[in-house]
């Protein structure tokens, strides 16, 4: 399901995860998501806004857990949406559930 407001949020897969996330120069916020997940849809516009507004210091990507089981399993993701912030190839913060833009930025403020 592609939404018009998610053009700034890049979709990654098991095949592109290492290149797009682990090797990225900027910190990367990964949204582990699923098409059947209502909270995932709720947070999509929030992440699209953050992707546009914080592009100079943060990359935002999404990974469909149903289509990419290897990466999902590798990071122990069990609940959707899980937001995981990677810096220099390592996960440094993990958050579960939808939240407001202000709250999300506050929770990530010390690691981005």
CA distance 51 to 30: 11
- To the query of whether residue 77 is one of the catalytic residues in this protein, the response is no
Beta bridge pairs of residue 31 = 62, 83
- To the query of whether residue 35 is one of the catalytic residues in this protein, the response is no
- In the set 9, 29, 30, 40, the catalytic residue is 40
Structure token pair of residue 70 = 């290897």
Beta strand pairing status for 59-64 and 10-12?
A: parallel
Angle between helices 101-108 and 38-53 (to 10 degrees): 70
- In the set 24, 37, 105, 112, the catalytic residue is 37
Q: Tell me the catalytic residues.
A: 37, 40
């Amino acid at each position: 399901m592609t939404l018009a407001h998610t053009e700034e949020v890049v979709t990654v897969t098991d095949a592109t995860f290492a290149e797009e996330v682990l090797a990225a120069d900027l910190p990367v916020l990964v949204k582990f998501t699923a098409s059947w997940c209502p909270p995932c849809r709720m947070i999509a516009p929030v992440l699209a806004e953050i992707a546009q507004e914080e592009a100079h210091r943060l990359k935002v990507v999404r990974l469909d857990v149903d289509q990419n089981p290897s990466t999902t399993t590798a990071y122990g993701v069990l609940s959707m949406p899980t937001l995981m912030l990677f810096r220099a190839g390592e996960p440094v913060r993990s958050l579960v559930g939808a939240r407001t833009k202000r709250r999300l930025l506050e929770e990530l403020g010390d690691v981005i």
